[in-house]
Chain A
Amino acid sequence: MLDQFLSTIADLARDSGVAGFFAEGGWKNIVMILISFLFMYLAIAKGFEPLLLLPISFGMLLTNLPGADMYHSEFWVYQTVGDNDHYIDYGNILQHGGLLDILYMGVKLQIYPPLIFLGIGAMTDFGPLIANPKSFLLGAAAQGGIFFTFLGAALLGMSAAECGSIAIIGGADGPTSIYVSSKLLSNSDSIGVGTIALAAYTYMALVPIIQPPIMRALTTKKERSIVMGQLRPVSKVEKLIFPILVTVVIALMIPSAAPLVGMLMMGNLLKESGVCDRIAKTAQNELMNIITIFLGTTVGATTTAKTIMTLSFAKVIVLGVIAFSIGTACGILLGKLMCVLTHGKVNPLIGSAGVSAVPMAARVSQKVGQEEVPTNYLLMHAMGPNVAGVIGSAVAAGVLLSIVAH
């Protein structure tokens, strides 16, 4: 009787998560759990993109608890059939997967990011961009960070898929980064979607710290003091034509950007039409919140100890900040060029808002501008490049997806 009792207790202890910490490599899980605590602290106490970092960090905690079996990275290995064809065995996942495996299917099948874009579209006012279409160019220039980082990652000897996934961090757009990396990366790559998402959202939260020094270094006091006039009012019909036009032009030109741009513009049309208030509100609030929970938690769950505690993660962190900085610099430099061409009518500071990160990047332009002239309101001028950056990074994502094999 006593023997049986003791052996049952011993079995329980062996199966418990605590035993998992002492198993081989178990210390890595402890480190990861501590890292998840750090991200929770940053999200709660420091307000770093809490809506995403908090679910991500909790997903990180869940996945690194030994024996909880909520997420299985081994299920997501590509099976090869025939010569080149590779696929994921979704039937197996549905049958044996844990909660987070099932939810992660939405990431792997690229369902969540376009739905997030639907919500973003329903919240975005493209008015400033329509009033000043030249802002599109600033949104394009800031994507330079993506392609130059691609170059940097290639120099470090990473695979093509890894180069593309790291580079997209420079677009400063979380859903786009997840979209591209989940499509490109497979198990043979040394980094995962979670790593990319973590780096992207951390840097987006750090926009107000990373951007201003670059902005000040590249502009003169005189340029920063340029006061821009008021934008012209935009009529409703113009706002209605815009999403349809952008969808048709971009989807025909770069079909692989269609899911992101198409959903973004559909959300915007729902909002601007004024006749679908109920749907627009759902897209902005309930749908977006639900998807954010699924996306954050599952992306966090992919950050298992064996994917994060590698040299590649360090490379992602370093290249990510470089991508961000180059993007900011490219935007500012084109802003300077536009300033010269318009004989000083454009304040180059609005160029840095071309990296998406809506609306934080635009607020940074406003803040840096106001340091020179307190009555200068650059916010609406910076919103143009800012929303153009969202379209620009979706286009850049489409280009990467069509160039790099997955």
Chain B
Amino acid sequence: MFYNTAQLLSNKLSGHDYTGTDIASVVITGMSVVFLGLILLVLFVSIYGGAFKRRNEKKKAKQEAEKQAALADKPTVLEKAKPAPQSAPAVEDGIDDEVVAVIAAAIAAMGAKSGKKLVLKSVKRSVSQRDPWAAAGLVDNTRPF
């Protein structure tokens, strides 16, 4: 059978010129090659998947441990970590406090996403005369270039 298969692979099947053994070997070869290929992938994916799983678990365990440690010495941390008094942002005359608060909130939200702590230093009126909506549209349209 093995010889037959090898011969078949070298002499390709064509027309009606085939025997029962040829067909049987197509079925057997076909199924085994498909299984072999996918078993190889199972092995590779399992190996690197396992490695990543272990790494992630380690990371998680480490984070958990750090969290526990932080909780344990919380009182000392609290005293140390008293936030330094921040200077109030320099706000140009004629800009509402509410507007400054909204800008600060938006910046804080953006910072929280990337894990950074951002400080609003000053708020000035833009010199550009372009309508902000038009500017946003322009940025959107030219982004890819």
Identify which of residues 124-142 in chain A touch chain B, using a CB-to-CB cut-off of 8 Å.
Answer: 129-131, 133-134, 136-137, 139-141
B70 at the A interface (CB under 8 A): no
A117 at the B interface (CB under 8 A): no
**How near does chain B come to A100, taking the closest CB pair, in angstroms?**
29
A391 at the B interface (CB under 8 A): yes
B37-A395 in contact (CB<8A):
yes
Alpha-carbon gap, A235 to B45, bound state (A) = 13
B108 at the A interface (CB under 8 A): no
B119 at the A interface (CB under 8 A): no
B30-A399 in contact (CB<8A):
yes
B144-A399 in contact (CB<8A):
no
A232 at the B interface (CB under 8 A): yes
Per-residue interface assignment for chain A, residues 116 to 157, with 1 indicating a CB less than 8 Å from any chain B CB and 0 otherwise: 000000000000011101101101110110111011001001
- How many contacts between A and B, using CB within 8 angstroms? 118
Please indicate the chain A residues that have their CB under 8 angstroms from the CB of B33 in the complex. 253-254, 395, 399
Alpha-carbon gap, A241 to B48, bound state (A) = 9
A143-B13 in contact (CB<8A):
no
A400-B30 in contact (CB<8A):
yes
Q: A130-B45, A160-B14, A405-B14 are in contact. Are A237 and B52 (CB under 8 A)?
A: yes
Q: A161-B14, A405-B13 are in contact. Are A133 and B27 (CB under 8 A)?
A: no
Q: A143-B34, A160-B18, A404-B14 are in contact. Are A238 and B27 (CB under 8 A)?
A: no
Identify which of residues 26-72 in chain B touch chain A, using a CB-to-CB cut-off of 8 Å.
Answer: 26-27, 29-31, 33-42, 44-46, 48-49, 52-53, 56
Please indicate the chain B residues that have their CB under 8 angstroms from the CB of A154 in the complex. 18, 23
User: Which residue on B lies nearest to A134, using beta carbons?
Assistant: B42
| Contact pick for B45, options A133, A144, A163, A278, CB 8 Å | A133
Alpha-carbon gap, A129 to B38, bound state (A) = 12
Q: A403-B8, A403-B12 are in contact. Are A388 and B26 (CB under 8 A)?
A: no
12 contacting pairs across A/B (C-beta < 8 A): A133-B42, A140-B37, A147-B27, A147-B30, A235-B52, A249-B40, A250-B37, A253-B36, A253-B37, A399-B29, A402-B9, A403-B9
Interface residues of B (CB under 8 A from A): 8-9, 12-18, 23-24, 26-27, 29-31, 33-42, 44-46, 48-49, 52-53, 56, 144
Interface residues of A (CB under 8 A from B): 129-131, 133-134, 136-137, 139-141, 143-144, 146-148, 150-151, 154, 157-161, 163, 232, 234-235, 237-238, 241-242, 245-246, 249-250, 253-254, 278, 388, 391-392, 395-396, 399-400, 402-405
